[in-house]
Amino acid sequence: MSRLPITAASLGLLSCHDCDLLSKPTDGQVAGVCPRCGAHMHLRKPNSLTRTWALLITAAILYIPANLLPVMQAGSMFGSQKDTIFSGVVYLWNSGSAPIALLIFFASITVPLAKLIALTYLLISVHRHSQKRPLQRTQIYRLAEFVGRWSMIDVYVVALLVTLVQFGGFATIEPGPGAIAFGGVVVLTMIAAMSFDPRLIWDPIKEKHD
Amino acid sequence: MSEPLAVSSLIACHECDLLHRRMVLPQGGVARCTRCGAELYANPRDSLNRALALTLAAAILFATVNFFPIVDLDAQGIVTKATLPGSALALHDTGMTSVALLVFTTTVLVPALLFAAMLYLLIPYKFGRTPPMLPQVLRAVHMLKHWGMVEVYLLGVLAALVKLGHLAIIKPGPSLWLLAVLVFVLAAAVSAFNAHDFWHEGESSASDLSA
């Protein structure tokens, strides 16, 4: 493969995000329609930074009720018990299911928080036109985009427990308001990662990097 | 760079925008960006036949998974069952419609649409025809891949089994095994599906028309 430190943008070419066709926009236009597949083309994802910031801040706010409010409440003839994400992890740990406890802790608490921090870091570095470690920042972006979906585990656990534990007066499990907030965090951070354009990391890079 | 010919032989990395010259890949080859390592394009071995076979298998597995219980729970003789669409319905019944929709969309609706869209493209293509609305459907496939979470659901089932294991008797249902197989077949189908096949087909048919 040829080693040209030349980008599509530097030649005024638009790359179609759907079919990869390169084309020159018509005079005066910044964006256009792909001549091959008809997709709307943009030099970079539209308003990438603003959109990502907005989604990220909303997700960060929702992260608080997602962790403080109960994600489910178990009711039985012995009374009721509310479980937050964290108390659910503690329960699993104490009942001897350490691997699953660690899995849930990682997927539900670490991953969303790490994603919030990683995307904030990427956004700030792009605002500062940072030239440092573009490859590592791209790898952080890829990781953030890849792991986000796994946070959904806890939502599915709640869904399954609610389905299975329905014994009238004997015992029931109901979802708590924390589940809505938590689902919101997962979806918003996923969309935030999708709306971030990793090419913005590379735009200030002038020299050839290896 | 005024000649359009030169442009069509180039590809820009969609993660760092570096331009590369397109090359013919050997079977099973993958072209990666020389600067950031992102995948530029691939040439999966026998991609059409493999993608079609695997997608058909995955669609059949998925249709079957929906009808049988994933787990049975037996608490002192009272048995409840959970099916894949049933877990979304149960959430809806408790009034958590937003969470129910999220579960239904990511585990039932999106996978169903993904299989439909992939087969819609692959079957006509197998017989040498280009289906109508090709760009829109390909775009849909790309988006649906992000939001289908069957594999995450499978892990959720395992976590729920552990959580309930010491409260009641848990019996894995037939759909649990089907779901486990589905996760692998689906991953193989998605990696065999090569969007570039369709664009190159579109390109040659467009040049046929103009000739």
CA separation for the pair B136, B147 (Å, rounded): 17
What pLDDT, in 10s, does the model give residues B71-104? Answer: 988 877 788 889 999 988 989 988 889 999 999 9
User: Which chain B residues have a beta carbon less than 8 Å from that of A200?
Assistant: none
User: Which chain A residues have a beta carbon less than 8 Å from that of B164?
Assistant: 161, 164-165
Cα Rg of chain B, angstroms = 22
CA separation for the pair B47, B192 (Å, rounded): 5
CA separation for the pair B181, B79 (Å, rounded): 26
Tell me whether residues A134 and B8 touch, CB distance under 8 A: no
Write b or e for each residue in B159-198: b if 16 or more Cβ atoms lie within 10 A of its Cβ, otherwise e. Answer: bbbbbbeeebebebbebbebbeebbebbebbbebbbbbbb
User: Which chain A residues have a beta carbon less than 8 Å from that of B89?
Assistant: 163
Q: Is residue A103 a contact partner of residue B155, using CB atoms and an 8 Å limit? A: yes
Nearest by CB to A166, which of B20, B80, B159? Answer: B80
CA distance A30 to chain B (A): 16
Q: Is residue A1 a contact partner of residue B23, using CB atoms and an 8 Å limit? A: yes
Nearest by CB to A138, which of B8, B36, B94? Answer: B36
CA separation for the pair B74, B161 (Å, rounded): 12
Which residue in A163, A180, A190, A191 has the most chain B C-beta atoms within 10 A of its own C-beta, making it the best mutation to test that interface? A163
Those residues with Cβ within 8 angstroms of residue A141's Cβ, 6 or more apart along the chain or in another chain: A118, A122, A193, A196, A198, A201, B15
Instruction: Give the CA count within 13 Å in the CB-facing half-sphere of B210.
Output: 5
> Does residue A77 surpass a pLDDT of 70?
no
User: Which chain A residues have a beta carbon less than 8 Å from that of B135?
Assistant: 18-19, 37-39
3-state DSSP call for residue A69?
A: coil
CA separation for the pair A120, A136 (Å, rounded): 15
The residue of chain A nearest to residue B155, with distances taken between CA atoms, is A153
Q: Is the ipTM of this complex over 0.85?
A: yes
Name the nearest CA neighbour of B18 among B33, B30, B29: B33
CA distance A113 to chain B (A): 19
CA separation for the pair B66, B27 (Å, rounded): 36
Q: Is residue B38 a contact partner of residue B16, using CB atoms and an 8 Å limit? A: yes
Q: Residue A186 — pLDDT band, cuts 50, 70, 90? A: very high
The residue of chain A nearest to residue B197, with distances taken between CA atoms, is A19
Per-residue tokens: B59: 């669609």
CA separation for the pair B10, A24 (Å, rounded): 13
Mean pLDDT over A59-65 rounds to 96
The residue of chain A nearest to residue B164, with distances taken between CA atoms, is A161
* Range in A145-149, A170-174, B144-148 with the lowest mean pLDDT: A170-174
**How high is the pLDDT of residue A2?**
41
Tell me whether residues B206 and A36 touch, CB distance under 8 A: yes
**How high is the pLDDT of residue B194?**
86
CA distance B143 to chain A (A): 10
> Does residue B205 surpass a pLDDT of 80?
no
- Interstrand relation of B10-12 and A22-23 (parallel, antiparallel or unpaired): unpaired
> Does residue A64 surpass a pLDDT of 70?
yes
Question: Tokens 């071995």 sit at which residue?
Answer: B45
CA distance B57 to chain A (A): 24
Tell me whether residues B10 and A167 touch, CB distance under 8 A: no
> Does residue B199 surpass a pLDDT of 80?
no
**How high is the pLDDT of residue A137?**
95
Sign of the Cα pseudo-torsion (A178, A180, A186, A189, in order)? negative
The residue of chain B nearest to residue A200, with distances taken between CA atoms, is B16
H helix count then E strand count, chain A: 8, 7
Tell me whether residues A20 and B206 touch, CB distance under 8 A: no
Q: Is residue A202 a contact partner of residue B16, using CB atoms and an 8 Å limit? A: yes
Residue bearing the bigger pLDDT, B204 or B91: B91
Tell me whether residues B12 and A15 touch, CB distance under 8 A: yes
H helix count then E strand count, chain B: 9, 7
Largest interatomic CA distance in chain A: 74
Residues 160-189 of A with CB under 8 A from B: 160-167, 170-171, 174-175, 179-180, 183, 187
User: Which chain B residues have a beta carbon less than 8 Å from that of A141?
Assistant: 15
**How high is the pLDDT of residue A39?**
82
In B3-48, where do the E strands start and end? 10-12, 19-21, 29-32, 39-43
**How high is the pLDDT of residue A27?**
62
Mean of the per-residue pLDDT values for chain B? 86
Q: How many CB atoms lie within 10 A of CB B86?
A: 18
DSSP code string of A176-192: -HHHHHHHHHHHHHHHH
> Does residue B188 surpass a pLDDT of 90?
yes
* Range in A199-208, B24-33, B145-154 with the lowest mean pLDDT: A199-208
**How high is the pLDDT of residue A111?**
94
CA separation for the pair A133, B13 (Å, rounded): 18
Tell me whether residues A156 and B103 touch, CB distance under 8 A: yes
Tell me whether residues A154 and B156 touch, CB distance under 8 A: yes
Cα Rg of chain A, angstroms = 22
Q: Residue A69 — pLDDT band, cuts 50, 70, 90? A: very high
> Does residue A106 surpass a pLDDT of 60?
yes
Which residue in B162, B169, B197 has the most chain A C-beta atoms within 10 A of its own C-beta, making it the best mutation to test that interface? B162
Question: Tokens 């699993």 sit at which residue?
Answer: A92
Sign of the Cα pseudo-torsion (B42, B46, B49, B50, in order)? negative
* Range in B104-118, B142-156, B191-205 with the lowest mean pLDDT: B191-205
**How high is the pLDDT of residue B108?**
95
CA–chain centroid gap for A99, Å, is 24
> Does residue B36 surpass a pLDDT of 60?
yes
Name the nearest CA neighbour of B69 among B85, B92, B91: B85
Question: Tokens 């090709």 sit at which residue?
Answer: B134
Q: What whole-number percentage of chain A has pLDDT above 70?
A: 90
Axis crossing angle, helix A177-195 with helix A48-68, rounded to the nearest 10: 160
> Does residue A200 surpass a pLDDT of 70?
yes
CA separation for the pair B96, B118 (Å, rounded): 32
Q: What whole-number percentage of chain A has pLDDT above 90?
A: 54
A9 close to B (CB below 8 A): yes
**How high is the pLDDT of residue B202?**
45
A146 close to B (CB below 8 A): no
- Give the best-scoring range by mean pLDDT among A163-177, B2-16, B181-195: B181-195
* Range in A88-97, A169-178, B40-49 with the lowest mean pLDDT: A169-178
**How high is the pLDDT of residue B4?**
46
Question: Tokens 């997608």 sit at which residue?
Answer: B55
Q: Is residue B177 a contact partner of residue B157, using CB atoms and an 8 Å limit? A: no
A38 close to B (CB below 8 A): yes
